[in-house]
Amino acid sequence: MKNNDFDNLFDDLNFNIEEPHTGHRERFFKKIDKEIESPESKNKVRSLWAPVMAIAASFALAIFLLGGFMGPLDNAKNSELASISPEMKQTQEFYTGLITKELNAINAEKTPETEAIINDALLQMEKLEMNYENLKDDLLDSGKDNRVIHAMIQNFQQRIDLLNNVLTQIENIKTLKNQNHENNII
C-alpha cells in the first residue's frame, strides 16, 4: 500500500522535461564571450575596491593582533582589588591615596640626617609592592578568594604602618636635633 503512495507522489508533480530551443547553447556562449571582451563599468568599480578592501583587511588584522597583545593588560586591571566590588574599589582608592600622601610627606622631610631612613623605607616599600603584584596574580588565579583579598588589604596596611613609623622616626630625629642645638646654645 505504501509503495503505491510513493509512486503516485511523483505523478502529480509537473516536472519541466522539455529540451531548450535550438541554438540555446550557442547564444549562451556568445553572451559569455561578449562579457569577457568588453567588461562593464561594474567590473572596473570592483577592481578599484579590491585594493581598498585589502588595506582595510590589513588594518583589521593589525587591530586584532594588537588586541591579543593588549588583552593581558586588561586581565591585569581585573586583578586589582577594585575589580571585586564598589566597596573594595573605595578601599583601594583610600589606601592608595593615603600611601601617596604619606610618601609625599616623607619626601618633603628628606634631609641628610633622614636620608638613610627614607631610602631604607623606600626599599621596603618596593618589596611590599612586589608582594602586592604577586597577590594580584594570586587573586586572578584563585577566583577572588577572600584570603587573598585580606592579604592585599594587609599589604596596604603594612605599607601605611611602615610610612607612619618612618615619619615618627623623622620627627624624633628633628626633636633630637633641636634639643642638641638648644643645648649647644646654652
Does one domain contain both 50 and 110? no
Asked if residue 166 lies in contact with residue 106, where contact means CB atoms within 8 angstroms, the answer is yes
How many C-beta atoms lie closer than 10 Å to residue 7's C-beta?
9
Does one domain contain both 88 and 179? yes
Query: What is the number of structural domains in the chain?
Result: 2
Confidence bin at 20 (pLDDT 50/70/90): confident
Confidence bin at 12 (pLDDT 50/70/90): low
Does one domain contain both 150 and 64? no
pLDDT digits (tens, 9 = 90+) for 92-121: 888 888 888 888 888 888 888 888 888 888
pTM: 0.55
Does one domain contain both 66 and 114? no
Give the Cα-Cα-Cα angle 78, 83, 89 (nearest 5 degrees).
140
Residue 58 has pLDDT above 80, yes or no: no
Q: Does the residue 143 lie in any domain?
A: yes
Does one domain contain both 150 and 103? yes
Which residue segment(s) compose the domain that 95 sits in?
80-185
Could you give the CA distance from residue 25 to residue 19 in angstroms, rounded to a whole number?
11
pLDDT digits (tens, 9 = 90+) for 60-102: 666 666 665 554 444 444 568 788 888 888 888 888 888 888 8
Structure-derived torsion over alpha carbons of residues 130, 131, 132, 134, reported in degrees to the nearest 10 = 90
What secondary structure does DSSP assign to 57-80, as a single string? HHHHHHHHHHHHHHHHHHHHHHTS
Asked if residue 125 lies in contact with residue 63, where contact means CB atoms within 8 angstroms, the answer is no
